[in-house]
Structure 1
C-alpha cells in the first residue's frame, strides 16, 4: 500500500473533467472509484520517523482528517487495533516501534501510514475484514512500509523527478518537454511503488505468522478487497483500464498469488489464529456507508439531514455521495450528474451567476427564472465539445444549490433536469432527524437460512445478496453454518 496519492479517473468511461471532477485518493487497500473532496498536496510513501518530515506529516494528518470526514470514535475497535499492533510489535523483536492508529469516518475501503508512524484505517475497511488475522495483515502491511524505509526512497525519487522537469521547463524554456519528462518520471515512480507494495505484502505475511495469526489472512482479505472493488466499479460503470499503467500497486490477483505463496512457505492452511468471533463482535454496530451529516444515498434518493434537503435522481441513475458533492451516472453511461453548493458574491443575483457559467469551455444559453420547492431558481442550457448540458441553481438564503446534467453528443437532458428539480424538496425537522446511518449488525444463521434469506434483511443497499457475500467473504454457492453469526447492513 502506499500513503496518499491521487489519480483522476472517469466514473463511467471518459467523463469530461469539467463535468465531474473526481479526485481519487487511493492507498494500499484503496477503493479506486470513489469521489472525495480535493486535497491540494500530494502525499509521499510511508517512512521511518524522520525529524525533517515531522511538520509535513502533521499537516498531512490534518488533511486526512478533513478529507475523510474526521476521526470515527469507536473505542472498542480502536482498542482491538492497538492490541493487534502491540502483538505485532512484540513478535517483531524490536524491529517494530510505537504506532498511533486513527479510524477515519469514511465508507471508503482504505488504509495507509505516515512517516511518523501514524496508521490509518477507514471504517469501510473495518467492515470488510472478517477475522483478526485479516485486519492484522492490514496493520502489518502498513507497518512494513514504515520499517522498510519506503518513504525516504520515494521522497528521493520524487525530488529527482521534480528537479529534472524543472530544469527542462525553466532553463531550456520548453514546458512541453518538461511535462513529458515529468510523465516519464511518474511511470518510473509507479513501477517503483508497485515493488514496494509486493515487498510490504511479503513482510506482513511473515510478521503476522510470527505474531501467531493465520498467515493466509492476508490473501483472504485481498480477495474480499478485489471483489469489493469490482462491486463498486459495477455500481459506477467500471473504470478506465488505460490508467492501470500509473497504478501504484499491482493487481489484486497478483498480490493474492504472492501472499498465498508466502503463506505456503510458512506452513499449510490451518495454522495460526483467526478468531473471527472476536473481530465480528468488535465491529458489530460500526457505521456503514455514508455519514448522514454529509448526506446519504438511498437508491436514487439523496437526503442531507444537516442541510435538510432531498432530491431524487432521474430513472436509470446511480448516485454516490461525497464530501461537498453528489455525483451520478446513468446505467448506459450516456448521462452524468453533479450536485454541490456555493455562495453568491455580494450583490450578485442568481440569474447573473448562472449566466456567467461555471463550467470552463461551455457556452450557456438564455437563463430562465422559476421556482423549485418554493425557492427561487434559475436554469439554462449549454454546449461543450462532446456533451450537452443543463444547469440549474436553487437559492436558499446565502447558499446556492447547483445541479449539472450532462448528456453525450447532442442529446438534451432537459427532461431529466425537469424531473430532478421536481423532486427537490426541503426536509421537515422530523424527516431530517429520521435520516439515520446504516450499521454493521450481526445475525445468527438458522437451520434453514441461506445467503439470500439473510441478504433480504439488508437495509437500503444496492444488490444486497452480492454485498452480503462480499461482507462475509463468501462465494455465491456458499452454505451458511447454523448458529454462526454473519454481518448484514441494517439501520
Structure 2
C-alpha cells in the first residue's frame, strides 16, 4: 500500500469492489490495474540511446517497485537474450539487457533502447528457460514489429474519422463511428499480440529452446489469474470481450501450440529447467515487506509503522492502491487505504465531508484506538452496510472500511474488534521483516503434492500455489529426485 492516496474514494467505489470482483487479466504486459504500464506512445518514443542512467529508465522502474537485485537471475536472463539476438528476425536491433522489477505482479515489457524489464513475479511463475525466453522474445517482437507506433497511428486515424463523422453528420452518428473505431483498434491490438506470440515461438526455437515453452507459460498465466480469482472472489465472465486489447488466454495458447507444432513435435528443444531453478532460487516471492505484507490475517507495514488483523476467515491482498480483503461465504469485504490528514485535523468533519455516501450522522463517534485518535461510523449504500473507521497516525489518515449485506450485531462486533487491532508498531517490530523467497526442494520417494505443499509458506492455499509454480495438476505424482519450486521464509 502506498504512503498516501490523494484521489477520492467514495463508498460507491467500495461497492464496486464489494461485488467480489477484483480487476485482473491474463496479459503479458498488464495484469490487473495495480501498476501503470508504459503507454504505446511512451514505448515507441524512447530514444535508442536510453540506458539505465536515464531519467526515463528511473521513472519506469519507480512505477514498478524499483529494481530488484538478483545477480544470478539477471546473468542467466541476459545469457538467454544473447542467444535470442543471434537468431533475431530483425538484424541490427539493439542489444537487450534485462532489469528485474521489484513487484509480484506478472509483467514484462521492452523498449527500443534495448532495455527489457521483467518482474520477479514473472520469474516465480515461469517454469524453465524456454518459458522465460518466450516472454522476452514476445516483448522484443513488439518492438521489432513496431507495434506501438502502428497502434498509435491506428488510434490517431480512428480519432480523426470519429471527429469528422461528428462534424459532418450528427452526434448520434459520431458515437456510432467512435464505437466502430474502438472495436477496430481493439481488434488490431489483439492481432498484434498474436503476431508477437508467433514471432516469439519462432525465435526461441531457432535459439534452441523448446518452442512449446510459450504455450506452457501462457497456461501458467491463465492458472495464476484463476487462482487469484478463486482466492478473492472474482466472478469471471466466460464471454469474450470484443473491446479487449488482448486475445483470450485460451485462444493464445491454442495458437501458440499450433505455431510450435509447425516446428516440431513436443519434446524438441532445450528447457534447461535445472539451471533456471538454480538462477531464480532465493528470489523474493509475494509482497515487498517494506511496502506492507500479509501473514495469515495480519497486515504489517514496517515503513509506515502500523499493523492490523482482519476478522477470522478473511483473505487479504496488498496492492499499490489499498489492502483488500474478502470473506466470500458471508459476502463480507474490507478495504484499507490512506490519505494525508487535513490541515484542521478534525476527524469528525473529515468523515462528514462527503467522503462517504450514505453516512448515518447519528453513528459518528470519536474513539481512541490504541492511543491513536479515531472516528467510527456506519453508512448504508444500496444493499450494502458499512462499518468504517478513520484513524489518525502521524501525517496520515488510515481509512478502514468493512462491508456486509447484513450488518448484524455479530458482524459489527467482529469488524470493531478488527478496527481495535490497528496499532503503531513498537520500535523493535518490523525491523527484521524479510520477504518470502523461492527455494528449490528435491522430491523424495514418498513425496506428494501434499507433502511438498506442507513446506510452503504462503498466506493461502499452499497446494494450489505449489502446483501453479511447478506446472502440476491435482493428483499428479512427483518424480523422485526432481527439483521443485517451493516458497519459504
Instruction: Call closer, same or farther: CA 1:71–1:54 in 2, change over 3 Å.
Output: closer
Residue 334 of structure 1 deviates from its aligned partner by: 2.5
Structure 2 partner of 1:150: 147
Distance 1:358 1:483, change over 3 A: same
d(CA) in 2 for partners of 1:119 and 1:374?
Answer: 48
**2:331 aligned residue:** 334
CA distance in 2, matches of 1:363, 1:179: 38
| Distance change in 2, residues 1:132/1:243 (3 Å) | same
Q: Does residue 226 in structure 1 map to residue 226 in structure 2? A: no
Contact 2:44 2:146 in 1 (8 A): yes
Task: Report the equivalent of 2:7.
Answer: none
1:470 corresponds in structure 2 to: 468
Q: Distance in 2 between matches of 1:179 and 1:403?
A: 41
Give the conservation status (yes or no) of the 8 Å contact 1:30–1:108.
no
Is the contact made by 1:115 and 1:151 (CA closer than 8 Å) also made in structure 2?
A: no
Superposed counterparts of 1:24-39, under 5 Å: 28-29=27-28, 32=31, 34=32, 36=34, 39=36
1:355 matches 2:366: no
Aligned residues: 471
- Displacement after TM superposition at 1:16 (Å): 3.3
Task: Please tell me the root mean square deviation across aligned C-alpha atoms, in Å.
Answer: 3.2
* In 1, Cα distance between equivalents of 2:344 and 2:14: 34
CA contact (8 A) 1:394 1:401 kept: yes
Q: Distance in 2 between matches of 1:310 and 1:463?
A: 23
1:442 aligned residue (426, 440, 443): 440
Go from structure 1 to structure 2 and tell me whether the alpha carbon gap of 1:178 and 1:356 turns closer, same or farther (over 3 Å shift): farther
**2:454, 2:462 within 8 Å by CA — same for their partners in 1?**
yes
Q: Which residue of 2 aligns with 1:380?
A: 377
1:48–1:115 Cα contact (<8 Å) kept? yes
Report if the CA contact (8 A) 1:303-1:435 is conserved: no
Q: CA shift at 1:351, angstroms? A: 1.6
For 2:24 and 2:339, the matched residues in 1 are separated by 23
Measured against aligned partners, the alpha-carbon deviations of 1:29-57 in whole angstroms (never above 9, x if no partner) come to 2574x4526x5x971179667759989xx
Q: Which residue of 2 aligns with 1:280?
A: 277
Q: Deviations over 1:309-347 (max 9, x none)?
A: 111222332211012421122213733311111122222
Alignment CA distance shift 1:475-1:88 (3 Å): same
SS of structure 1 residue aligned to 2:105: coil
Name the residue aligned to 2:485. Answer: 487
Secondary structure of the equivalent of 1:107?
A: coil
With over 3 angstroms needed to count, the CA separation of the structure-2 counterparts of 1:201 and 1:333, relative to structure 1, is farther
- The CA distance in 2 between the partners of 1:417 and 1:410, in whole Å, is 10
**Could you tell me whether the CA contact under 8 Å between 1:48 and 1:116 is conserved in 2?**
no
> Displacement, 1:354?
1.3
Distance 1:162 1:422, change over 3 A: same
Pick which of 165-174 and 344-353 moved more.
Answer: 165-174
Offset from partner CA, 1:34-89 (integer Å, 9 cap, x none): 4526x5x971179667759989xx88755542332111121221222111111111
Corresponding residue number in structure 1 for 2:111 = 114
CA displacement at 1:138 relative to structure 2? 0.5
Q: Closer, same or farther in 2 for the Cα pair 1:18/1:164, shift >3 Å? A: farther
Q: Counterparts in 2 of 1:74-113, with a 5 A limit?
A: 74-92=70-88, 94=91, 96-113=93-110
**490 and 79 in structure 1: CA distance in 2 versus 1, 3 angstrom threshold:** same
CA contact (8 A) 1:219 1:259 kept: yes
Matched, 1:188 2:184: yes
Q: CA deviation at 1:163?
A: 3.8
Query: How far 1:136 moved relative to its partner?
Result: 0.5
TM superposition shift of 1:431: 2.7
Which structure carries more relative contact order (alpha carbon 8 Å, separation 6+)? 2
Q: Name 2:193's counterpart in structure 1.
A: 197
Matched, 1:396 2:397: no
Structure 2 counterpart of 1:452, from 436, 446, 450? 450
Segment drifting more, 329-338 vs 438-447: 329-338
Q: Is the 8 A contact 2:335 2:401 kept in 1?
A: yes
Q: Distance in 1 between matches of 2:42 and 2:204?
A: 19
Match of 1:206 among 186, 202, 205: 202
User: Contact 1:20–1:338 at 8 Å: present in 2 too?
Assistant: no
CA distance in 2, matches of 1:220, 1:92: 22
CA distance in 2, matches of 1:329, 1:246: 29
**Relative to structure 1, is the Cα distance of residues 430 and 68 closer, same or farther in structure 2, using a 3 angstrom cutoff?**
same
Q: Is the partner of 1:474 in helix, strand or coil?
A: coil
- The unaligned stretches of length 5 or more in structure 2 are 1-12
Q: Structure 1, unaligned stretches of length 5 or more?
A: 1-13
Distance apart, 1:250 and its partner CA: 1.6
Asked whether the equivalents of residues 133 and 274 of structure 1 are also in contact (C-alpha less than 8 Å), the reply is: yes
Shift of 1:182: 4.3
Q: Which stretch shows the higher mean deviation, 91-100 or 443-452? A: 91-100
Farther-moved stretch of structure 1 (408-417 vs 215-224)? 408-417
Change in Cα spacing, 1:49 to 1:99, as seen in structure 2 (3 Å) is farther
Q: Say which SS state the counterpart of residue 218 (structure 1) adopts.
A: helix
Q: 1:141 aligns with which of 124, 138, 143?
A: 138
Match of 1:67 in 2: 63
Change beyond 3 A, Cα 1:31–1:466: farther
8 Å CA contact 2:26, 2:225 repeated in 1 = no
Cα distance in 1 for residues equivalent to 2:241 and 2:415: 34
Whether the 8 Å contact between 1:44 and 1:154 is mirrored in structure 2 is yes
